[in-house]
Amino acid sequence: MQSLALNGGNPVRESKISYGRQYIDEDDIKAVSDILRHEPLTTGPMIGKCEEELCRLTGAKYAVLISNGTAALHAACYAAGIGSGDEVIVSPLTFAASANCVLYCGGTPVFADINEKTWNISPESIESLVTEKTKAIIAVDFTGQAVQLNEIQDICKRHNLILIEDAAHSIGTMYHDKYIGNIADLTTFSFHPVKTITSGEGGAILTNNKEYYDKLIRFRSHGITREPGLFVNEWDGIPYYEQIELGYNYRMTDIQAALLKSQFNKINIFAKRRFEIVDMYNKAFADLKGVEIQTEIPESKSVRHLYILRFKLDKLNTTRKQIYDALYAENICCNIHYIPVYYHPYYTELGYKKGLCPIAEQVYEEILTLPLYYSMTDQDVLDVINAVKKVVSYYGG
Ligand SMILES: *Cc1c(COP(=O)(O)O)cnc(C)c1O
């Protein structure tokens, strides 16, 4: 058996590799500098061009670019009409923003448990939590795998609920023959640098519903309209606008949109490389004792944003902390996605308690996120595989 770097042995590689990073090329740099040279810096033509591109890419009728993925979720909750007294069913194994957006609107997040194998929100758990007060479901495509959309849409139909899909991880993913973005009532994307494509900070909401679209457009910019047909007061033709609801300044700049538009050109090669890496990992880990890979439903052709491995601690003679440290010493920097949202002190203060979602809690205790990004070489991937095998076998896997 090889000696672990943690115990003074040689690490599997010399330089550190992190769990995710953006890929920026000369075309991206030129796209951004062109905006800086020619203006406008914000609310210019790049915004509309990116929105068209998102519609073309997904098949959705409408797309609204917005300042980030969290603002996209806030806007989606607003358009869905979520307010005080409304319950919204959310996955606990996600970034806090997926539930915070409900609080922004005065609603109450209700956490449904996940499926033990796919790690996505469980339709059975959703169904068991629906009450008279339930208004919507926010389903997160965890790691890029589509949730069980048919089953969840069925629940929505039966109980008259709105489906918001938090697709921060899943741009490019297909469910059956449709792209994510063209299925749920409202779908949100994030273009943060760790996501599949980036604009620095950025997000979008997609919908096929004109009413939602009109609300989203106003919400992004203070609730202000410049359409004379919507004016409440009389207008004599001089420059004029009216604020007809409460919105925010959630606009994206053209500098960011130019970067995003340039990144769209690479989305297919990004996706292809992510498929390849996930395939290499899955083949290497599928039969490795002591670990479990994420099960994929056949309906989802997933462009994966994260690669997460579950370490079965009942089969290994160690702790997750020790596995994390051992991989770090091998120069593989892992991460954890995610701390169950209701573990955060802010949520405990609101009255949420441990034990709400036992499966999510158990999965959380045993997961680590391995490196996955476009520019990883085959050797990088092999280094990660070798390090995991080395560490797992050392601890009895
Ligand atoms: C990244 C992320 C968000 C938030 O996106 P930002 O652009 O960082 O605001 C929301 N939900 C999930 C699941 C995410 O991963």
For residue 36, the CA-to-ligand 1 centroid distance in Å is 27
The residue whose CA has the least distance to atom 2 of ligand 1 is 168
Q: Is the pLDDT of residue 1 over 80?
A: no
Pocket test for ligand 1, best of 65, 70, 250 (most atoms within 8 A of CB): 70
Residue 168 has pLDDT above 80, yes or no: yes
Q: What is the mean pLDDT of the chain?
A: 97
The answer, yes or no, to whether any atom of ligand 1 lies below 6 A from the CB of 68, is yes
Q: Which of 91, 98, 338 to mutate to test the pocket of ligand 1 (most atoms within 8 A of CB)?
A: 98
Q: What does the pLDDT look like over 176-234, one tens digit per residue?
A: 999 999 999 999 999 999 999 999 999 999 999 999 999 999 999 999 999 999 999 99
Determine whether the shortest distance from the Cβ of 340 to ligand 1 is under 6 A.
no
Judge if pTM exceeds 0.95.
yes
- E strands, the chain, where? 62-66, 87-90, 108-111, 134-140, 162-166, 174-175, 178-179, 186-190, 203-207, 224-225, 242-243, 291-293, 300-301, 307-311, 367-370
Q: Name the β-bridge partners of 110.
A: 89
Strands 108-111 and 87-90: parallel
